Structure 1
Amino acid sequence: MENEKLTTAQELSVVVDVIEYLEGRGIEGPEAACILRTAATHIENQVAKKCFLVSMGKALNN
């Protein structure tokens, strides 16, 4: 899973793309920041869930 991490430059590139996408649809400022943070939280939760399930699977199989 370590190889699946984005570099800082890649992360910033994604953020810029999302900001440009939102601005193109008239969403700026606090609204855009909330959308970005919500998306980031969702992704973090999905990664945490995956790590937890893999760890539990390993623990149960030992």
Structure 2
Amino acid sequence: MSELQSQLVALVSSVIPVVLVFTNLDYTQRGSFGKKKAGLKLTYRHKSVKSSLLRNVIKFLP
């Protein structure tokens, strides 16, 4: 495999699923496990899946 292929495999098999899981947690349960444990609350002006997804994409950029 080339370097590009291995990077794509890593992206599809680890990064994208993690982003989707955290997006789901942020949107449906108002934050991840760590935020709940720390007592933090996640608030949005306009709650949407798009804003949760954008927040998590930025958070998990390498």
Taking structure 1 as the reference length, the TM-score comes to 0.39
Which protein is richer in helix relative to its size? 1
TM-score (normalizing by structure 2)? 0.39
